[in-house]
Structure 1
Amino acid sequence: MGKKDNVYGSQSDGDDPKTDIHADRKTGRFNQRTPGSSLETGNSPEDNSLPLECAFPGDMAVTADDDGVKKSHVGKSCEDNEEGYLDYHIGLVMKERYEVVSTLGVGAFGKVVECIDRDKKDHVAVKIVRNIECFRDVARSEIAVLEEINILDDDNRFACVRMLDWFEHDGHICIVFELLGLSTFEFLRQNKFLPFNVEQIRHMAFQIFRAVCFLHRNKLTHTDLKPENILFVCSDYDLEYNDVMECEERKLRSFDVKVVDFGTAKFDHEDHESEVSTRHYRAPEVILDLGWNQSCDVWSLGCVLMEFYLGRTLFQTHDSKEHLAMMEKILGPIPPHLLKQTRKLHYVHNGRLNWDEPSSSDEYIWKHCIPLKSMHKKSEEESQLFDLIGCMLEYDVYRRITLEEALWHPFFSPLRMQKPHS
């Protein structure tokens, strides 16, 4: 259950990557966006190995069930190849090994198909990259990163998707991955945006933090962490009636997750373009053009945890100045020294954020952006979760918590005290 909606790669594209594909969340109309390893516990989060996966520029993937995507039929192509997509059909065998059985998704990067690996008798996901040089270049880069990570995590201990193989087919680079379930965003969408509970968030966050912490230790920044790029290992569920919401709710059988989509991942020594991350998860230093480092991943994950808790995006906007205004409403004023350093001078007036005109946006901000410190905490566990998120959503990168430190936060104490499985 859930495999049909699995897409391996959704990536930011330009200033507002979600504008064209996804309906505005303010209206409550949602379109589907993109598309986890067993949780290891012990006394130390200092594990030094784990796996990784990438995607491609402009990959705003939708699934085969969306209206704009033709479904595959035996002997019939899914899509013309005029724009570099592979013209394939169900039953096609690539590399004399991978037999196409269904279309999982399509995006700007190409398509993802489910295949039977005839050699191992397993089902896998194959990303078929468009035969256009810019996409081929990124695919080559992705493969190099994935191969490096496979070496660093040769026993596959961490929660990043595994590359199993790669090859070329009729000029298309194809990357083979393990087959995973739904993305955390897609599960939320299908589950009427009912939020995850604190225990579920803890289980998922610990795996995600360990995975991204590994990347950071190995000089790599993901740069595009968001619910679409966190997939459940298996999204099988049971239906239960929710008395409070008066509706049926999907209850996942497992909350193991994996991080995917390394299309914009950067090693520390590589050039850092000024703008990274999908809008809603973009750190203030990126918006203010102050330069960025691995701490931008920490900010993004803080936004992700809030989305898991609320069932909605924390910063729902497509405008940078409005984004900063929302941050101030939720987190307090942006420190003057950061505003003084910005190259985006039109964001600043008299040493403060230039946001003083009453507008419909302003009304939305005051209605929906609740200060983090005033959000009601029902339990000590929720208080710990909010404390952790507050440490992650710190404006100043020099004060923001690292993931190494976050793994030792009291919120994760119940997991650290568990005995490892033998």
Structure 2
Amino acid sequence: MRRSQQSSHSEWDKKESPDDTRCSSAKRKRRSLGAQENKHCKDGLPQLPGSTLSETKYVNEREHQERRYVEEYRNVYNQGCDTGHHSSKSSGHSGASGYKRKYMAHHATPHPQHSQESHRRKRSRSVEDDEEGHLICQRGDVLSARYEIVAILGQGAFGKVVECIDHKADGRHVAVKIVKNIATYSEAAHAEVQVLRHINASDPSSTHSCVQMLEWFEYHGHVCIVFELLGLSTYDFIKENGFLPFRLDQLRHMAYQICKSVNFLHLNKLTHTDLKPDNILFVTSDYVEEYNPKLASCLKNPDIKVVDFGSATYDDGYHNPLVSTRYYRAPEVILALGWSQPCDVWSIGCILIEYYLGFMVFLTCNNKEHLAMMERILGPLPNHMIQKTRKRKYFCRDRLDWDEHSAAGRYVSSRCKPLKEFMTCHNSDHEDLFDLIQKMLEYDPDKRITLEEALKHPFFFPLKR
């Protein structure tokens, strides 16, 4: 299986415009689902028999936007963007995966002028930054007389991530996140370090599947955070595997570890706020290729760790009103009703159905369309949430202002269907999984299942036998 050389994922709606115009809708490659599923949720745009000229124009424009965004989306992955956390080598190939964007949501600010915000100190003439504040480095350079760079894993808005040999720890390989030499990013990095130190102190043996920070230091004005080196992100594994879903037994194992890890955060009064397949990394990316018509690969070890705590928020800390990557964002966040730990549970529900299907179900760039997709999959939004929200522009007479017969409405109908109709099998294991997902995708955060409860769900019973 080919490994991408530099892979990253970017969330374009850092600051939300009225229609999220910066976030064109992403379209991921999808597996063949059979005639019945394709009828409801096609890969492309809907066919509109008898559509008007204006609808045809809408669809053509939509298709053009999607094609353009797919290119942007892929380019961002190839370039490595904003932040994230881990990448590794697997089966002898370089696999840059996890260190993707961060410092969005909580740390989203206009790009500062480097000349104004840089806080460089006096430094050796041999140590230089580029015009954006990135440390200029290459293979063979040594950081802090200890970490020898062997590979550049990714670069983005936050800085860059490099794979290093730790010459003071028997030559083990580590990942070092080198933050830009700009005050805004340095402050955010120091906040992330505090969260990571709290996690390390609360779980020194890393039994709760959170990534371990090994140490941090400053190098000529750059905050550098040293992490254990992990494997591919779960998103990258799906992508490299042709967007085929995970097997149910693997999904169960991964889901339990994710719930256990994030529940540990919640017990420590933290909300992750940016859970997604990109921020869930395999401990190792070892795989075996199984012969089948699609040349799928099968994981040897489905153990995972949750990474990227750059947006983690304490219960009593400032809560940025806009959190989470678009496709995993809870309804209470979209409706500006305030959020807390249940928003993580919603994100996990979205992640699990993506693992099951191989693609995202809430694939949109627009808040109203996002809500329409939710209603198509999960049923009507609760009246009390509609009445409470300040986002009145999305509603008319306490109902979502959405025309199912418009071109946009047909587009949503073609992609989405009631949750249980996504099931590919109706045995007890699949039924249990979808019951858990449905409880995680409960609209009302007060009624949404907690992770403490989720860990006791029947879907996980086979793990306890």
TM-score bin (small chain): 0.7 to 0.9
Of 320, 325, 339 in structure 2, the residue corresponding to residue 292 of structure 1 is 339
For the pair 1:403 / 2:457, whether they are aligned, the reply is: no
Of 170, 175, 195 in structure 1, the residue corresponding to residue 220 of structure 2 is 170
- Greater shift, 375-384 or 274-283, is seen at 375-384
Deviation readout 1:248-301 (Å, 9 max, x if unpaired): 111111101000011111000101111110000000000001000100000000
Cα distance change on mapping 1:10 and 1:203 into 2, 3 Å: farther
Q: Distance in 2 between matches of 1:124 and 1:181?
A: 12
- Asked if the contact 2:404/2:410 (under 8 Å) is kept, the reply is no
**Could you tell me how far 1:10 is from its partner in structure 2?**
8.1
Please name the residue that 1:97 is paired with. Answer: 146
- Asked if the contact 2:25/2:365 (under 8 Å) is kept, the reply is no
Q: Which amino acid aligns with 1:416?
A: K
Q: Which amino acid aligns with 2:154?
A: G
Q: Distance in 2 between matches of 1:9 and 1:259?
A: 18
- Asked if the contact 2:144/2:219 (under 8 Å) is kept, the reply is yes
For the pair 1:15 / 2:16, whether they are aligned, the reply is: yes
**Could you tell me how far 1:101 is from its partner in structure 2?**
0.4
- Asked if the contact 1:7/1:112 (under 8 Å) is kept, the reply is no
Q: Which amino acid aligns with 2:448?
A: R
**Could you tell me how far 1:12 is from its partner in structure 2?**
7.0
Q: Which amino acid aligns with 1:268?
A: D
Please name the residue that 2:401 is paired with. Answer: 354
Please name the residue that 2:241 is paired with. Answer: 191
Please name the residue that 2:354 is paired with. Answer: 307
Deviation readout 1:286-329 (Å, 9 max, x if unpaired): 00010001000000000000100110011000000000000000
For the pair 1:345 / 2:402, whether they are aligned, the reply is: no
Please name the residue that 1:277 is paired with. Answer: 324
Please name the residue that 1:63 is paired with. Answer: none
Task: State the number of aligned residues.
Answer: 380
Q: TM-score, normalised by structure 2?
A: 0.77
RMSD, matched Cα: 2.7
- Asked if the contact 1:54/1:264 (under 8 Å) is kept, the reply is no
Q: Distance in 2 between matches of 1:135 and 1:102?
A: 23
Cα distance change on mapping 1:283 and 1:299 into 2, 3 Å: same
Please name the residue that 1:252 is paired with. Answer: 299
For the pair 1:392 / 2:393, whether they are aligned, the reply is: no
Q: Which amino acid aligns with 2:211?
A: V
**Could you tell me how far 1:361 is from its partner in structure 2?**
2.5
SS at match of 1:84: coil
Deviation readout 1:374-413 (Å, 9 max, x if unpaired): 3343321000000000000000111100000000000001
Q: Which amino acid aligns with 1:384?
A: D
Please name the residue that 1:123 is paired with. Answer: 173
Unaligned runs of 5+ in 1: 37-52, 60-76, 418-422
Q: Which amino acid aligns with 1:380?
A: S
Of 312, 321, 339 in structure 1, the residue corresponding to residue 368 of structure 2 is 321
- Asked if the contact 1:54/1:265 (under 8 Å) is kept, the reply is no
% same residue? 52
Q: Which amino acid aligns with 2:136?
A: D
- Asked if the contact 2:26/2:364 (under 8 Å) is kept, the reply is no
Unaligned runs of 5+ in 2: 29-43, 45-65, 86-98, 106-125
- Asked if the contact 1:56/1:139 (under 8 Å) is kept, the reply is no
**Could you tell me how far 1:365 is from its partner in structure 2?**
1.0
- Asked if the contact 1:330/1:372 (under 8 Å) is kept, the reply is yes
- Asked if the contact 2:13/2:22 (under 8 Å) is kept, the reply is no
**Could you tell me how far 1:95 is from its partner in structure 2?**
0.9
Cα distance change on mapping 1:92 and 1:7 into 2, 3 Å: farther
Q: How does 1:46-57 map to 2 (within 5 A)?
A: 56-57=102-103
User: Which structure carries more helix by proportion?
Assistant: 2
**Could you tell me how far 1:22 is from its partner in structure 2?**
8.7
Q: Distance in 1 between matches of 2:395 and 2:324?
A: 23
Q: TM-score, normalised by structure 1?
A: 0.84
- Greater shift, 26-35 or 347-356, is seen at 26-35
Q: Distance in 2 between matches of 1:252 and 1:144?
A: 34
- Asked if the contact 2:162/2:176 (under 8 Å) is kept, the reply is yes
Please name the residue that 2:428 is paired with. Answer: 380
Q: Which amino acid aligns with 1:204?
A: M
- Asked if the contact 2:23/2:365 (under 8 Å) is kept, the reply is no
SS at match of 2:290: strand
Q: Which amino acid aligns with 1:403?
A: L
SS at match of 1:248: coil
Q: Distance in 2 between matches of 1:303 and 1:136?
A: 32
Q: Distance in 2 between matches of 1:126 and 1:9?
A: 20
Q: Distance in 2 between matches of 1:293 and 1:166?
A: 29
- Asked if the contact 1:7/1:104 (under 8 Å) is kept, the reply is no
Deviation readout 1:315-354 (Å, 9 max, x if unpaired): 0000000000000000000011110000001111011011
For the pair 1:225 / 2:226, whether they are aligned, the reply is: no
Structure with the greater alpha carbon radius of gyration = 2
- Asked if the contact 1:124/1:179 (under 8 Å) is kept, the reply is yes
Please name the residue that 1:236 is paired with. Answer: 286
Q: Distance in 1 between matches of 2:355 and 2:313?
A: 26
